[in-house]
Amino acid sequence: MTPRKKKPSKSIEKAARSVKDSDDFVQHIANIADRYRREHALDSGPRAREVRQALRTFHKHATALAQWLEQAQKAASHAEQDALNKIGVALYGSPVLAHAESRNVAAWLAQAGKAADKCAADAKLSGKRDRNAPRVAAEGLRATFEHHKLKWSTSAAKTNPGAAVSLMRAIANAAGDAEFTAEDAREFLLQSARREPGTVRKESMR
């Protein structure tokens, strides 16, 4: 049974034909773009986004509460101190214990807030590096360029990027991966080039 051909978007067809004006080449790029779109949907699934959002939310509230508690430790003219005194009386029958506890809590919140911010940044970066979509696309492009005997260039120069880099960005952008840069493309393309000769999966073009 002949596999159903993937119809390329106008942006993908334009990017492909700027490299080689060939229906066969355009179809190969359309297939790679379709695979990228499907893999990107998995890479950027709701769970990963929810975790990053939860970390950002924790950082926001932990930082704000740490600042609030710091204010409560200062001059009695601050309303925060009066509020903490009332909390201490309600909890312990005395505001003194609340102030002692709040110092430890404020220190922990300040450290935890910074840690959450770092975790959110690390999660975003590691997700960017570990995504399967650009890895599969890079292998597919390498196989396609070899098949069509096209020059393989991974230049990420702003004025004149290599054809493979331009196609990778077009494919990523068409899938909604708007943050994918020329340097990102170059990194994944270089990774695909480090594979042993003959190990590129030809099915990536299908």
State the pLDDT at residue 197. Answer: 45
Please say whether the beta carbons of 36 and 9 come within 8 A.
Answer: no
- Torsion angle of the four alpha carbons 180, 183, 189, 195, in this order, in degrees rounded to the nearest 10: -120
Give the pLDDT score at 41. Answer: 79
Continuous H helices in the chain: 10-19, 23-43, 46-72, 79-92, 95-130, 132-147, 163-174, 182-193
Q: What is the pLDDT of residue 1?
A: 38
CA–CA separation, 62 vs 48, rounded Å?
A: 21
Structure tokens at 130: 């570990």
Give the tens place of pLDDT for each residue, 122-149: 666 555 555 788 889 999 999 999 999 9
pLDDT tens-digit series, residues 30-60: 999 999 988 887 766 666 677 778 888 999 9
- Whole-model pTM: value is 0.55
Specify the pLDDT at position 123: 63
Other Cβ atoms less than 10 A from the Cβ of 170: the count is 23
Give domain limits for the chain.
10-44+131-205, 46-127
